[in-house]
């Protein structure tokens, strides 16, 4: 019989930076519904929950609908841009971002905080920075 060593018991962490950047680029910046839904299927757990200031949505389709509506609301030139490197540990990661039109002012900024399980986003909190000015 073998017993686990401290090294073998070490938690294998997901690549928070890759996962949260993929969420920003492939979900919240993706205007084509089919590609966005495929990315959500790859990046999120089967029944994810997203918490945002306007409410709580559950399920991959609902998250896709929210992302699509945001892009439609703000126009073709609007996008989200990561600020810095996403970090995390023990199943929780975060990524700072800003959003607005290309070469234009920042309209909104904030942070995505994700609970990650089995390498996929299980729960996502979208926290917006307080308006400036």
CATH number for the domain that contains residue 61: 3.10.450.50
In a domain, 82, yes or no: yes
What the block records as the tokens of 104 is 């234009």
In a domain, 23, yes or no: yes
- What's the half-sphere exposure (Cβ side, CA atoms, 13 Å) at 83? 11
In a domain, 87, yes or no: yes
- What's the half-sphere exposure (Cβ side, CA atoms, 13 Å) at 123? 7
3-state secondary structure of 67: helix
In a domain, 30, yes or no: yes
Low-confidence ranges of the chain (pLDDT < 70): 1-11, 132-133
Whole-structure pTM value:
0.88
């Amino acid at each position: 019989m073998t017993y686990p060593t401290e090294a073998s018991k070490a938690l294998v962490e997901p690549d928070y930076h890759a996962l949260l950047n993929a969420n920003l680029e492939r979900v919240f910046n993706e205007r084509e519904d089919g590609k966005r839904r495929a990315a959500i299927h790859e990046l999120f757990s089967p029944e994810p929950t997203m918490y945002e200031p306007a409410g709580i949505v559950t399920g991959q389709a609902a998250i896709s609908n929210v992302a699509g509506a945001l892009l439609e609301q703000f126009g073709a030139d609007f996008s989200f841009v990561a600020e810095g490197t996403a970090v995390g540990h023990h199943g929780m990661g975060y990524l700072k971002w800003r959003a607005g039109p290309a070469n234009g002012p920042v309209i909104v900024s904030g942070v995505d905080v994700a609970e990650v399980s089995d390498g996929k986003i299980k729960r996502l909190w979208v926290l917006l920075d307080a308006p400036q000015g």
